[in-house]
Amino acid sequence: METINSRLINWASILDDKTREQALATSRLPFIYPHLALMPDAHLGKGATVGSVIPTLGAIMPAAVGVDIGCGMIAVRTQYSLKELPRDRRRLREDIERVIPLSAGHNNRKVLATAEPRVAELGRLAAKAGFDPGQYVAKWELQLGSLGSGNHFIEVCVDETDAVWLFLHSGSRGVGNKIAQHHIGVAQRFSREKRITLPDPDLASLEEGTPEFTRYIKELRWAQHFALLNREEMMDRVITQFGTWVGGRVHESERINCHHNFTAQETHYGKSVWVSRKGAIKAEAGDPGLIPGSMGTASYVVEGLGNPVSLNSSPHGAGREYSRNAARKTFTLAELKEAMHGIEFRATEAFIDEIPAAYKPIDQVMRDSADLVKVRHKLRQLVNVKGD
């Protein structure tokens, strides 16, 4: 841990100058209390740094929550061991790809029976919140149970005991993005009208007590719940395909589902604050959590240590060292295939920007997190599914 100043505490041993300056700029905003906590996976983001924990008094910056509201991880530990798995892992990958829409803009053709109760629940929540998600995306219901692209993934992994885990990463899809973009625009218009000077327009905020703030919180919470149910729906489909592949039912011994792009009202240092975790998970003492590496590297099942200086938080993954554009210019498909040796995946140039070398070494991130979380399991991948 490094105290950069009284308003910025840093856990990242790998931190470039631009990311440090971006975090410093955010930490100087007058409503930050008590300080911004920079996680080990911190890297440059839009407005606010990805991998930062931002506590605010009486205000929230929508862009500091992120445009993929509620993005996070879900993992299930099965009763199966590595030696019980069939050899043909490609068949499982293709079966998963068949039942879950992948890539940006790809949705379900219809609401499946498994998704119906979740869609109904979200409909009731939206009505209670007094808004129609259809004003953002006309057929938002068809997005429930779809993965998206970028760093979102579905994986089959084994831990140090060779127990098999099913693991995936996704968020609130297009409807969450549209909600976020709308409220970022509202915050920016508010800042312009009030002639508020900001180091970055994406640090514009909404003031607690205003109708705009109240509406954002209601829609934010809905999108966070959409993201959680989206992961549950996809995991249920993965379990079905995995069970068919192994020829037996799957009995879950554990299921963990956690956000890493979200806002919650919490008490820290004696005051009630809005804590925006942009690329960070909540890690109160005993909280189960998931910290994935990049495709081809280890992921971790963890337990929070409740570090008060970190605002009870921990990293959400490896964190990028190369931007997507820089990664595409630097690495090759051959290098990606070499990095993914022994893992069943769809080998395509579309995933070059996700190559492990574009990310910080996950084991270094975990060493930096030693006072934030306790490692319960280390996972290695057998199958990787992504959207291009």
Tens of pLDDT, residue by residue over 329-365, are 999 999 999 999 999 999 999 999 999 999 999 999 9
Return the structure tokens found at 215: 């509406």
> How large is the average pLDDT for residues 8-26?
97
Q: Is the pLDDT of residue 304 over 90?
A: yes
The domain that holds 182 is classified in CATH as: 3.90.1860.10
Q: How far apart are CA 225 and CA 113, in angstroms?
A: 19
How many domains does the chain contain in total?
1
Q: How far is CA 165 from CA 74, 112, 150, 292, in A?
A: 10, 25, 22, 13
Q: Residue 92's pLDDT is what?
A: 97
Q: Residue 32's beta-bridge partner residues?
A: 56
Q: How far apart are CA 261 and CA 386, in angstroms?
A: 20
The CB density around residue 14, as the number of other CB atoms within 10 Å, is 16
> How large is the average pLDDT for residues 141-146?
97
Q: Residue 104's pLDDT is what?
A: 83
Kindly state the greatest CA–CA separation across the chain: 64
Q: Residue 103's pLDDT is what?
A: 86
Q: Is the pLDDT of residue 312 over 90?
A: yes
Percent of the chain topping pLDDT 90? 97
Q: Is the pLDDT of residue 229 over 90?
A: yes
Q: Residue 105's pLDDT is what?
A: 83
Q: Is the pLDDT of residue 37 over 90?
A: yes
Active site residue 316: yes
Q: Is the pLDDT of residue 95 over 90?
A: yes
Q: Residue 239's pLDDT is what?
A: 98
Domain that holds residue 342: 2-385
Average pLDDT over the chain, rounded to whole?
96
Q: How far apart are CA 295 and CA 171, in angstroms?
A: 18
Q: Residue 388's pLDDT is what?
A: 85
The CB density around residue 88, as the number of other CB atoms within 10 Å, is 11
Which entry of 43, 152, 259, 316 is annotated as an active-site residue? 316
CA angle, corner 363, sides to 344 and 230, nearest 5?
A: 55
Q: Is the pLDDT of residue 42 over 90?
A: yes
- Using one digit for the tens of pLDDT, what is the confidence trace for 154-204? 999 999 999 999 999 999 999 999 999 999 999 999 999 999 999 999 999
Q: Residue 228's pLDDT is what?
A: 98
Q: How far apart are CA 295 and CA 341, in angstroms?
A: 11
pTM of the model: 0.95
Torsion sign (Cα): 327, 333, 338, 341:
positive
Q: How far apart are CA 157 and CA 343, in angstroms?
A: 10
